[in-house]
Amino acid sequence: MSDLPQVAEILAKSRRVAVLTGAGVSAESGIPTFRGLGGLWNGRDPMSLATPEAFASDPATVWEFYRWRRDLVSQAEPNPGHRALAELARHRSPNFTLITQNVDRLHQRAGNRDVLELHGNLFDVRCTQCSRTFDRTGVALPPLPQCVDCGALLRPAVVWFGESLPQDVWGTAELAVEQADTMLVIGTSAVVYPAAGLVMTAAAAGCTVIEINLEPTPMSHFVDFALFGKAGEILPRLLAADMNPSE
């Protein structure tokens, strides 16, 4: 945390900021991360729950997993880290882009608009036949939800392993990190691609990259500064410094 004043100074001087978040930014809202203590993938095989093949072979089990996560997130609240990022976006708009790997929509509930969701979200569902997408926020889903238009099985509108990311979202995210002069990489283990590759794209484009995490990650080699600690504690301090650069 010692670098915080220096990082705050860099942030205050930056013109275009890009942010990439992962599950760690929602941990203080009580949402389990994927890897590490209490992680979603502990005792579960992601390949049996988060791939199109898993869904095709056992849709009821996959839906049970995702309905459980939807309920968990619906009862959670954005934490000070989410709220600081929403404030930072208001303070720096339009030169601020928030890119997330998270599917919990807590950034939006904290007030961020135009969030680039690389991996979709838990509240939209998509028809496996006619591909229509429906927003089912707040709606309890049956074990095997069906499309109102064609009757086919609906799936969670998330990006599973082996599936490509939404091209328009991905293209916008790549451009944002290429044009940013500062990038915050927050609460991600940086093992999932192509999302993790955005850090290297930013570094290669000469962007100053700042990692905020409890511990080093495989991306730590590519970053200029690392702030170790909880996102919910560090981000409000960075925001305060951004709002009052003189202090």
Catalytic residues: 119
* Residue 127 binding result from ligand BV8, Zn ion, none, given CB thresholds of 5 to 8 Å by partner type: Zn ion
Residue 161 sits in the site that holds ligand BV8 (CB under 6 A): yes
Residues between 164 and 183 that touch ligand BV8 (CB under 6 A): 164
Minimal CB distance residue for ligand BV8? 24
Q: Which is nearer to ligand BV8, 39 or 59 (CB)?
A: 39
Q: How many angstroms separate the CA atoms of 229 and 217, rounded?
A: 13
Structure tokens given for 96: 């601020």
Among 23, 62, 116, 127, interactor with ligand BV8 by CB under 6 A: 23
Q: How many angstroms separate the CA atoms of 96 and 182, rounded?
A: 10
Q: Answer for the pair 203, 20: CB distance below 8 angstroms, yes or no.
A: no
* Residue 34 binding result from Zn ion, ligand BV8, none, given CB thresholds of 5 to 8 Å by partner type: ligand BV8
Q: Which is nearer to ligand BV8, 58 or 215 (CB)?
A: 215
Among 28, 124, 211, 242, interactor with ligand BV8 by CB under 6 A: 28
Residue 157 sits in the site that holds ligand BV8 (CB under 6 A): no
| Cis peptide bond prior to 94, omega within 30° of 0 | yes
Residue 102 sits in the site that holds ligand BV8 (CB under 6 A): yes
* Residue 149 binding result from ligand BV8, Zn ion, none, given CB thresholds of 5 to 8 Å by partner type: Zn ion
Q: How many angstroms separate the CA atoms of 25 and 100, rounded?
A: 10
Closest approach, Cβ 15 to ligand BV8, in A, equals 26
CB atoms within 10 A of CB 96: 20
Give the amino acid at 196.
Answer: A
Among 1, 47, 56, 130, interactor with Zn ion by CB under 5 A: 130
Q: Which is nearer to ligand BV8, 14 or 33 (CB)?
A: 33
Chain-centroid distance, C-alpha 50: 16
Strand ranges (E), the chain? 17-21, 96-100, 116-117, 120-127, 133-135, 154-158, 182-186, 208-213, 225-228
